[in-house]
Amino acid sequence: MKILVLGSGAGGGFPQWNCNCRQCAGQRIGDVEARARTQSSVAVSADGQSWVLLNASPDIGQQLRGQPQLHPRHGVRDTPIKAVILMDAQIDHVTGLLGMREGPCIDVYATPCVFEDLTTVFPVISVLEHYCGTRWHMLAVAGTQRSASFTVDGFPSLRFTAVAIPGKAPPYSPHRGEQTTGDNIALLIEDLDDGSRLFYSPGLAEVGASELQWMRDADCLLVDGTFWVEDEMLQAGLSRKTAREMGHLPQMGDEARVGMVDVMLTTGARRKVLIHINNSNPILDETSAQRRVLDGHGIEVAYDGMEITL
Ligand code: MLT
Ligand code: MN
Ligand code: ZN
């Protein structure tokens, strides 16, 4: 299985267009050693020819232009992207569908909750009916059904499992205040040819027993790297929201919960990678003490253009 990181940043990317914080300003002028990052999306392939997008970022145009493996190959109009799987209905994960309107009808894999948000309060899918159209493939994660295995047409050797996880519906969703099963999923992807397994979860609010079990089943973790600490946005004067209020588990734990670093270390995954990094997170600075902590644990920080082969 091949995994291409198209966008490794959280909503807003890095540096964020209107942000003058130490890291964003420092990155712009070259004072902070850090790579720019576009907003959250990855592509997965079994053969390096056909690709499935996991989330579609608002930065999709830039991401596809910069990634030769995803350029058109045959005929006057073409794309190796055969489908899009959505983890939630957040702006940074779905707006890129609009950027695909010039292409063929889009095969969208999403839960009923996400489909509903995208045809009502944030009607990206309804708008696309006036362009390329979409075909909805329902991921049966709803009600008491907490996981669903499925295949994607054209990817016979990959087995996908969508898993309900703790998270937050977007601010515009009627479920924002009270999460409903299917608002947020993680994906376990298994390559049936060689048995390799990826666990992908760019937005993960909590790791309980069932999440930990899914994570322990994976060779590669590509998980929520949004915040280093719970009150990072408050400390930097950027927002009044905590990591918890935004639906993200920080890397460092506190009395209330175990952090993502300790969670990752309890798994035997060969590759442990953080993705969806917010511009406030000190791990963006490659010379930071926090980055050294990750290095010491063998935990990687995803960057745009990163390729992982399992
Ligand atoms: C989040 O995951 O909380 C988002 O990145 C917020 C956003 O897209 O603005
Ligand atoms: Mn996000
Ligand atoms: Zn900033």
pLDDT tens digits, residue range 184-225? 999 999 999 999 999 999 999 999 999 999 999 999 999 999
pLDDT tens digits, residue range 62-87? 999 999 999 999 999 999 999 999 99
Strand bridging mode 271-275 / 51-54: unpaired
Instruction: Identify the pLDDT of residue 4.
Output: 98
pLDDT at 94 over 90: yes
Phi and psi at 98, nearest 5°, equal -65, -30
Instruction: Identify the pLDDT of residue 256.
Output: 86
Strand bridging mode 2-7 / 41-45: antiparallel
In the chain, the N- to C-terminal Cα span, in Å, equals: 5
The pick from 87, 90, 201 for probing ligand 1's pocket by mutation, whose C-beta has the most ligand atoms within 8 angstroms, reads 90
CA dist., res. 84 & res. 87, Å (int): 10
Delineate the domains of the chain, giving CATH numbers in brackets.
2-309 (3.60.15.10)
Q: How far is the CA of 78 from the centre of ligand 1 (A)?
A: 31
Q: Residues of the chain with pLDDT > 90: what percent?
A: 100
Question: For the whole model, what pTM was predicted?
Answer: 0.98
The pick from 246, 279, 281 for probing ligand 1's pocket by mutation, whose C-beta has the most ligand atoms within 8 angstroms, reads 246
